[in-house]
Structure 1
Amino acid sequence: MPAQPIHTNRLILIPFTLKITKTLMAGDIGILQKLGLQLTPYWPDQEAIDTFPKIIHNLEKVTEPTGFESYMVVHRNSMSVIGDAGFKGLPNDDGEVDIGYAIITQAQKNGYGLEVAKGLASWAFKQPSVKAITARCLLDNKPSARVLEKLGMQQVSTDVELIRWKMMNPAHEQDTIDC
């Protein structure tokens, strides 16, 4: 079954498809209107544009979006895209998926990052193959670190650039305790 939108209180996470992503990457934002979304001058921003090749790469690995790829973050009231978020592919051999999110500058500091992260985590933990969610953020990205902490993630390592985070699926925590 193809990926379905994820609904949160204020947001709708709409899965990217190859067609949508390639069209946006070509500079044609008119496809957003065809999806019933409002155009704004704020999205896609440069960060989203820089992410499109990675989204395309992940989508080319599957026949249709599975949910473990990327989503447009849509504000439910305005129906405008305020960011993008998702996973960096299917769960690895350890049942881990890596999460990422970006909210446009104009919509930051409103709790949308946490709402997106919670929506993605809730969806992921309902998938039988997901044992843990991982994330990375830059050492100096305090807002992202706060989102990951509020989500319930634990720091597992740091290096000169990044903090690595992990959160176990409550349904699988017993598996790691018994090992």
Structure 2
Amino acid sequence: MTMHPWTHPQSQQMQLVAIPKLVLNALARGEAVDDAHSSLITPYLAGVECIGLWRMRSEQIVDTPSDAPWVTRLIIVPGVDGAVGIAGFHGAPDGAGMVEVGYRIAPEYRRRGYARRALETLLSVASASADVQIVRATISPENHPSRSLVDGYGFTEVGEQWDEEDGLETIFEVAARGSGAA
């Protein structure tokens, strides 16, 4: 896995761009980012809704540097100022070949297809990796838009879990297409 941008599989209309370590660390501390990246970081991404994620991912890539190319990326759409949200995996594939997807779209950009295109991009990346067998999504039972989204891509409910940050979550999984998974 590389830090190169991930492009939507059917178009060039979206890229998932890796967040440089220095930018990730600044976001985790609630500080301003360098000038080269400041135009991409919106108030939503620098705000209270995302700071916990930045702190977690900043610590994660210190503890497990090999996760860096897999984790949260900026969703960049041509013609839109700043990132419309974030998407990525929770880490590199685990021992069973499972990766978990995650995505957040800024409120002003929701219901425009950006989460769908981000998920399609993540599924394409997972499918292209020989190390990925299963793609997982964990979703709050009240998050009906995300539940509807994963239903459209063959995810099936396999259980539930309690997440310390997010509370009760339903677990959905799908085989990574092209990975040889059944």
* TM-score, length basis structure 1: 0.85
Q: Which moved more, 1:76-85 or 1:95-104?
A: 76-85
Residue matched to 1:168: 175
May I ask how many residue pairs the two structures share in their alignment? 174
What amino acid is the match of 1:3?
M
Cα offset, 1:168, TM superposition: 0.2
Determine what percentage of the aligned residue pairs are the same residue.
Answer: 19
Cα offset, 1:170, TM superposition: 2.5
Q: Is the 8 A contact 1:18 1:60 kept in 2?
A: no
Q: Is the 8 A contact 2:130 2:179 kept in 1?
A: no
Cα offset, 1:159, TM superposition: 6.0
Residue matched to 1:112: 114
RMSD: 2.3
Give the 3-state SS of the residue equivalent to 1:167 in structure 2.
strand
| 2:85 equivalent to 1:78 | no
Give the 3-state SS of the residue equivalent to 1:35 in structure 2.
helix
Cα offset, 1:152, TM superposition: 2.4
* TM-score, length basis structure 2: 0.83
Cα offset, 1:60, TM superposition: 1.4
Q: Is the 8 A contact 1:58 1:69 kept in 2?
A: no
Aligned partner (choices 90, 102, 105) of residue 103 of structure 1: 105
Structure 2 portions without partners, runs of 5+: 163-167
- Deviation track 1:75-99 (CA, whole Å, cap 9, x = no partner) reads 2212411211111111111100011
1:126-165 mapped onto 2 (5 Å cutoff): 126-158=128-160, 161-165=168-172
Moved over 6 A (4+): none
